[in-house]
Amino acid sequence: MAPTAIATPTKESPLLFEGLTWREFKAVEQLLDRPGYRLSFLEGILEIRRMPGEPHETVKKRIAALLELYLLMAGFDFTPTGSMTLENETAAVKREADESYKLAPGRVRPDLAIEIVFSSGGINKLEAYKRLKIKEVWFWEDGVLEIYHLRGEGNEFYYEKISSSEEVKGIDLDLLLRCINMVNHVDAIKTFQQAFPTQKTSTQHS
């Protein structure tokens, strides 16, 4: 029988180095500016991960394809920003999402960051995104999709786990997840696309 879901490989842990200043981190970043590694930084902790392999990239591109299809059909004036570098020296943080999106014109930073988790340990990703003031973060891990939305005001922010996206309004997350986890990419896109007449879409996003 053919497999019906994407297989998840053994998880690897990143290398962590504590007690670095921002200047030291930037110096190390320059030294390791080469293919095959991704560096993140949070409050003195440097995280070094090896670039992910095919399973990670398959899920990443699947989510991007499905989400962008929905955004287009739902009338969002969106801009894919991919793995753009997100950093703030004052907040002592640097992070690159697997995928990210500005969901309306004129955004200073992405509204949505997406993480495909095939590793264990490492810096606190939600804390990093909180300091970067990313409104919503999606985590796909082991076939499960979790969504967190930024709450609060002033200097008091926190992420709340939610059951439906507040940034990508109207998207059917159960259908999205089922299509993400399908083995065949074309079948996944077709299955998702065929459901559009029954999906509740929004034509505006503020």
By DSSP bridging, strand 136-141 and strand 144-153 are antiparallel
| Cα-Cα end-to-end distance for the chain | 46
pLDDT digits (tens, 9 = 90+) for 163-190: 999 999 999 999 999 999 999 999 999 9
Q: 147 in a domain, yes or no? A: yes
Q: 168 in a domain, yes or no? A: yes
Tally of structural domains, the chain: 1
Contact by Cβ (8 Å): 8, 57? no
pTM of the model: 0.87
123 φψ region: left (φ > 0), alpha (ψ -120 to 50), beta (else): beta
Q: 181 in a domain, yes or no? A: yes
Contact by Cβ (8 Å): 46, 13? no
Residue among 144, 126, 113, 159 nearest 5 (CA)? 144
In the predicted structure, residue 206 carries a pLDDT above the cut 90: no
Q: 135 in a domain, yes or no? A: yes
